[in-house]
Amino acid sequence: MANKSDYQKYICRICGFIYDEALGDPDSGLAPGTRFDDIPDDWMCPLCGVSKVDMVLLDEFMQQAQAASTVTHLYSHIKRRADEKQAIVIIGAGVAGWTAAAEIRSQDPATTIIMVAAGSADYYPKPVISMAYAQQRTPDELIEISGPAKAAELNVILRDHTKVVAVNARRKRILTTRGSICYDKLIIATGAHQAELRCHGNALNEVLRVNDLESYRRLRERLHRPGMRVAIIGAGLVGCELAEDLTTGGHEVTLIERANLPLLQLLPSTIAESLRQQMTERGIRVLLHRDVAAIDRFDNGMLVSLRDETSIEADVVISAIGLVPNTRLAARAGLAIGRGILADADSMQTSDPAIYVLGDCAQVEHACYAFIEPIHRQAQTIAAALRGEHQAFAQRQPMVRVKTPSLPLVVCPPLSPQGGHWRIVKADAKGHYMGFYAGDRLLGFALSGSFTQMAASLHETLKQNLQDVTVPATRQKTA
């Protein structure tokens, strides 16, 4: 058996997941001590679903990031006289914005790219936030590379700490708090925000919404001692993952959900019930069929009052009731809006052919794709369209590995629940393999326990099945 110091770590260049050879990936069937070279080619990153070819040695990655940082001072003094009217402007510096910039730059080393970010634009893997507390990772430790260093690496002009006030689509110009910027093509990557919690009380402004690095920083500041009482409102993906993470971190967690089971937007009820049981056994208090009526200050903490007249005392309250695409800027610019900003699957163009969209704020047909793997494919579609080529965005749900240690879960839900049904394919005392079928065609799956090891092969089968399903892509009319 090798010493722990002999093992190496690899990082996913897409989402930042770190594979440690010493720890392996037991949920995917990789035992501790599995060398990277021995990982099967069909293994997929647990966070974003890419293959092992998108992973590099962590030490080499950090050296490259350090090298990029050393040239940041040079970047800040570069005098560019580029014609802004020929520039590609990206609004938003989250995973979607940076992925679009990287994809475009990989195909075009010369075009001027300007990125406008409301914050610092530091690059970090957002999916790790919901498992970072138990790992004792500080916000600064999650940052892989600073915004200026990332911009230098990609040869991008970064306008950080700059808020976009309006988009003038007719004049092809955006108005910001630091002046206006012209564009030839505009890419909107403004993401999503936590839905508004509709209840009463004098402590609503103290409720946390953990959706980015700064909100994670605030959460850590509030959880300043062991054993604090945390109430999480919403048992969706973020709520369940945070409940598990904070429980592992030593806090007392109550999870409040208005539906009759946790994670029902992703899971069939059979597996959702198993998750409820396992979370309860782990010490998480799961309250279902409950609506929040008010949140008030109480002694040195907060009081969450429910509509059934029961209440929960908490030191910290977190709202995780779902994400809403950020569409206000696009709507004011006259773009077509549904739940998100409407886009054409062939090109990710909006109703204005000079404006593209990707990420959490984008809607293709009837769906928004709020995960890293589809964002990567949307960026490829945009980059292809910008160079006059066609690489349509395939409308399929990503495979999601849910970060719930009490019950390992992998799910790839159907794009639409209409015309099909869930059924149990296999089951044992530790888990389930359930498939979503339309006739005999597999259109989705949900795996728990040891069955999660089947995820990669099932995903390949699913992709093949979906290639035979034609989903029409309607190009929006120009506004």
Q: Tell me which CATH code domain 80-193+324-386 carries.
A: 3.50.50.60
What residues in the chain have per-residue pLDDT under 70?
1-5, 14-16, 27, 47-49, 64-85, 467-479
- For 434: left if phi > 0, alpha if psi spans -120 to 50, otherwise beta; the answer is beta
What is residue 341's predicted lDDT score, i.e. its pLDDT? 98
Distance in angstroms (rounded) separating the CA atoms of residues 194 and 196: 6
Domain with CATH 3.50.50.60 in the chain: 80-193+324-386, 204-321
What is residue 208's predicted lDDT score, i.e. its pLDDT? 96
Burial letters for 355-374: b for 16+ Cβ neighbours within 10 Å, e otherwise? bbbbbbbbbbbebbbbbbbb
Q: Does domain 204-321 have CATH number 3.50.50.60?
A: yes
Distance in angstroms (rounded) separating the CA atoms of residues 394 and 381: 9
Distance in angstroms (rounded) separating the CA atoms of residues 57 and 250: 32
What is residue 362's predicted lDDT score, i.e. its pLDDT? 98
What is residue 340's predicted lDDT score, i.e. its pLDDT? 97
Alpha helices in 58-146 (DSSP H): 58-70, 72-75, 95-107, 139-142
Span between the terminal Cα atoms of the chain, in Å: 65
Distance in angstroms (rounded) separating the CA atoms of residues 291 and 121: 36
Distance in angstroms (rounded) separating the CA atoms of residues 208 and 472: 40
Report domain 4-63's class.
Answer: mainly beta
Burial category of 183 from C-beta neighbours within 10 Å (exposed 0-12, middle 13-18, buried 19 and up): buried
What is residue 108's predicted lDDT score, i.e. its pLDDT? 92
Distance in angstroms (rounded) separating the CA atoms of residues 144 and 125: 8
In the numeric block, the tokens 């580029």 are attached to: 82
CATH fold of 408-467 reads Enolase-like; domain 1 (3.30.390)
Distance in angstroms (rounded) separating the CA atoms of residues 34 and 54: 18
Beta strands in 333-477 (DSSP E): 341-343, 355-357, 362-364, 400-402, 409-412, 421-428, 431-438, 441-448
Residue type, 116: V
What is residue 468's predicted lDDT score, i.e. its pLDDT? 53
> In this structure, is the dihedral angle defined by the CA atoms of residues 444, 448, 451 and 456, taken in order, positive or negative?
positive
Residues 134-189: pLDDT tens digits?
A: 989 999 999 999 999 999 999 999 999 999 999 999 999 999 998 999 999 999 99
> In this structure, is the dihedral angle defined by the CA atoms of residues 306, 310, 316 and 318, taken in order, positive or negative?
negative
Distance in angstroms (rounded) separating the CA atoms of residues 172 and 86: 11
**Nearest 5°: CA angle at 230, between 216 and 313?**
140
Distance in angstroms (rounded) separating the CA atoms of residues 463 and 396: 8
DSSP type of residue 129: G
Distance in angstroms (rounded) separating the CA atoms of residues 209 and 66: 32
Domain with CATH 2.20.28.10 in the chain: 4-63
What is residue 216's predicted lDDT score, i.e. its pLDDT? 95
List phi, psi (to 5°) of 124: -150, 150
